[in-house]
A and B are shown apart, each in its own frame.
Chain A
Amino acid sequence: MNYVEEALKGNQLAGARLIRLLEEGDPQGIEYLKALYPHTGRAFILGLTGPPGAGKSTLVDRIITELRRRDLKVGVVAVDPSSPFSGGAILGDRVRMQRHATDPGVFVRSMATRGHLGGLSRATGEAVLVLDAMGYDVILIETVGVGQDEVEIVDMAHTTAVVCLPGMGDDIQAMKAGILEIGDLFIVNKADRPGADEVVKQLQVMLEMRTAHDEDAWRPPVLKTVAVRNEGIPDVVDAFYAHRDHQERTGILAERKAKRQMHFFRELVKEMAAERIFGAAEGSAEYDRMLEGLRARQIDPYTAAETLLDQTLGGR
């Protein structure tokens, strides 16, 4: 099978196997990705993040339905944590989305974090590129359940929704400096529970302090949903598009895309550099001596790192 040709035609098996190669860091996968790259950059990339149990997967399920109703093809990348002990994972986000499993206009891929921090997995960005090239109009990224600091999603998505829950009053205070700063819109899910209006109010107060007093500035809406009962979903989708229109009009989208590109590039250079440097050093007697010295605390790691880099990249 010609993975690239088939993926561009929307062949799900080709796309799935390509994502698998990329997830495993297979160099052939990167070659395929280079060929796909000119066909990317068209999809609207949405991020959904929030604490565990906020109902992210159920929301994604409902949002897929709404987007399909609007005749849009939807790709989903759902990230769940790997066990730090076994390295294994149970990826259960699909459970809520399986009704779409037989819809050819929907593609759901679960990914384990495999030790990557930040709320996503290392290959999430690459999976998004593949789905983009396959022709999905909207790509939804569901992060792992996050607390305060896992904000990598903003570098990936054009529009990010933060999902909150009723009864999170004090938590919202605590989260101020973390994920709450990254929301382009806020969803208070399970809004049929007591305390929903209080959370909405608290979020609004917080956002008022955050938003610049600028006519043109985007004011993140706070929306109430009850995902299990399919309530409030069209408003959420409308808000996604309202945000995108605003970003396009103000030029922020282009800026954000460029920033995302730079971020992607820098991460890639870091990753490839580390791979080459260690690859070149491993097996040499000198490197072994260095590691020995580190273990025995005869050299400090700063000096060791500098020495290694000087040796591979040449002196500064």
Chain B
Amino acid sequence: MKQKKVRVLIAKPGLDGHDRGAKVVARFLQENGYEVIYTGLHQSPEQIVNAALQEAVDAIGISVLSGSHNYVFPEVMKLLKERGMDDVVVFGGGTIPEEDIPPLLATGVKALFRPGTPLEEVLEFMRENVG
């Protein structure tokens, strides 16, 4: 019996406790049929990538509101490559200044959503890029 489901890891790095955005996205994806693995707060890039590896996810969504996006995203991309997981789609959201977005996308991050993005946009992105 074939039972395909898209699996997504939602992670929240950084020392801050602002996990509402991550939880709203997690909930929204669940309501749209995705299996969401939620890791909780204060995740290091290594914890995120190892969790994604063990859970065999198709995509990783990272919420950053601590200003550490220029460290977190490139580090996650680097670790994914090292582990042979280049096929995992990485997207993110949070308080990321406009000018920081192009260099982050250049590291292989597929999309970055800034505050105020309608949830439907995230869903559209998922359907197009992940499944």
A interface with B by C-beta (< 8 Å): 1, 12-13, 16-17, 19-20, 23-26, 82-83, 86-92, 94-96, 98, 101-102, 107-110, 112, 114, 122, 271, 275
Contacts and interface: CB of A to CB of B under 8 A. Distances in A.
Contact of B32 (A86, A101, A102): A86
A101 B50 contact: yes
30 contacts: A12-B53, A13-B53, A16-B56, A20-B7, A24-B5, A26-B2, A86-B32, A87-B33, A88-B31, A88-B32, A88-B36, A89-B35, A89-B36, A90-B26, A91-B37, A92-B38, A94-B37, A94-B39, A94-B51, A95-B38, A95-B40, A98-B39, A98-B40, A101-B39, A101-B46, A101-B50, A109-B55, A112-B5, A122-B3, A271-B1
Interface string B13-44: 00000000000001101111111111110011
B10 to A, nearest CB: 9
Contact of A88 (B3, B29, B50, B55): B29
A107 B36 CA distance: 18
Given A12-B53, A19-B56, A88-B36, A102 B46 contact: yes
Instruction: Classify chain B's interface size.
Output: 20 to 34
B5 A114 contact: yes
B130 to A, nearest CB: 13
Describe B's contact surface by its main secondary structure: mixed
A109 B51 CA distance: 9
A120 to B, nearest CB: 15
Nearest to A110: B37
A101 B47 contact: yes
A19 B54 CA distance: 9
Contact of B83 (A13, A91, A101): A13
Given A91-B36, A108-B54, 12 more contacts: A12-B54, A13-B84, A87-B5, A88-B35, A88-B36, A92-B38, A94-B51, A98-B39, A98-B40, A101-B39, A101-B43, A102-B47
Most interface-central of A91, A271, A275 (chain B CB within 10 A): A91
B2 to A, nearest CB: 5
Nearest to A25: B1
Given A13-B85, A94-B37, A95-B40, A109 B54 contact: yes
A20 B31 contact: no
Most interface-central of A1, A88, A91, A109 (chain B CB within 10 A): A88
B40 A86 contact: no
Contact of B30 (A13, A86, A94, A114): A86
Contacts of A108: 51, 54
A87 B29 CA distance: 11
Interface string B70-114: 000000000000011100000000000000000000000000000
The 6 A-B residue pairs with the shortest CB-CB distance in the complex, in nearest-first order: A95-B40, A88-B30, A20-B56, A16-B56, A101-B47, A88-B33
A81 B83 CA distance: 30
A96 B38 CA distance: 10
B48 to A, nearest CB: 8
Contacts of A110: 37, 55
Contact of A94 (B27, B29, B40): B40
A83 B40 contact: no
A86 B33 contact: yes
B4 interface: yes
Contacts of A26: 2
Contacts of A1: 84
A109 B52 CA distance: 10
Nearest to B40: A95
Nearest to B12: A95
Contacts of B32: 86, 88
Contacts of A24: 2-5
A88 B47 CA distance: 24
B30 A16 contact: no
A127 to B, nearest CB: 11
B47 A17 contact: no
